[in-house]
Amino acid sequence: MATKLSVNVNKFAVLRNSRGGSEPDPVDAARAALAAGANGITVHPRPDQRHIRVDDVARIGAVVGRGVAGSAEYNIEGNPFAPSRGTYPGLVELVRSVRPAQVTLVPDGDAQITSDHGWQLPGDVDRLRPTVAALRAEGIRVSLFARPGLPPL
């Protein structure tokens, strides 16, 4: 199996958001990464939208697609238990609207600058199982950001 690179374009959005305005556009960053040979694009929208915003998710999805054979894959990371807020509909609803190839479930909170810990397995398995099943039923591959050395779901 060949190694594949997925480029996370969140920091472009952080820079844009901290400057105000529309530059740099994370969609342009996604296009550049794909043109340079990246196999996928990763984004991590949060309820406070300090990184990727809801409208970015759809715009990047239009550039990347679903990840059919031979094309790039779209991976959306986030906490499925974070509540909706403002225009952020919640991770599961956002993912359903875009239908990426993969969703990576991450147990982060608003106070975290970056994801710094994974799901506690096996303790979180029962809590995650319905969300994983619902996303898989939509044809979306699910990955967990988990503490290493513990059994998979």
Rounded distance between C-alpha atoms, residue 47 and residue 111, angstroms: 11
123 falls in which pLDDT band (50, 70, 90)? confident
Mean pLDDT of 8-28: 94
Task: Give the burial string for 37-76 (b: 16+ CB within 10 Å, else e).
Answer: ebbbbbbbbbbebebbbbebbebbbeebebbeeeebbbbb
Residue-range domain boundaries for the chain: 6-144
Band (150; pLDDT cuts 50, 70, 90): low
Q: Which residues share a beta bridge with 148?
A: none
Which tokens sit at 44?
């991590």
Q: Which of 67, 12, 80 is closest to 40 using CA atoms?
A: 67
**β-strand partners of 42:** 8, 75
Q: Provide the CATH number for the domain formed by 6-144 in this structure.
A: 3.20.20.70
* Beta pairing partners, 73: 40
Q: Is the pLDDT of residue 111 over 80?
A: no
Residue 116 — pLDDT band, cuts 50, 70, 90?
Answer: low
Q: How far is CA 140 from CA 22, 50, 59, in A?
A: 30, 25, 19
Query: What pLDDT score was predicted for residue 38?
Result: 94
Q: Which residue has the higher pLDDT, 61 or 150?
A: 61
Residue carrying the six token digits 């990576």: 104
Residue 64's H or E segment, with its range, is: helix 54-64
Q: Could you give phi then psi for residue 7, rounded to 5 degrees?
A: -95, 125
Answer yes or no: is pLDDT of 69 > 60.
no
Residue 75 has pLDDT above 80, yes or no: yes
Q: ∠ CA(151), CA(134), CA(66), 5° rounding?
A: 95
Q: Is the pLDDT at 67 greater than 60, yes or no?
A: no
pLDDT value of position 70? 52
Give the pLDDT band of residue 121 (cuts 50, 70, 90): confident
pLDDT of 151 above 70: no
pLDDT of 91 over the 90 cut: yes
Q: Which residues pair with 102 in a beta bridge?
A: 75, 141
pTM: 0.88
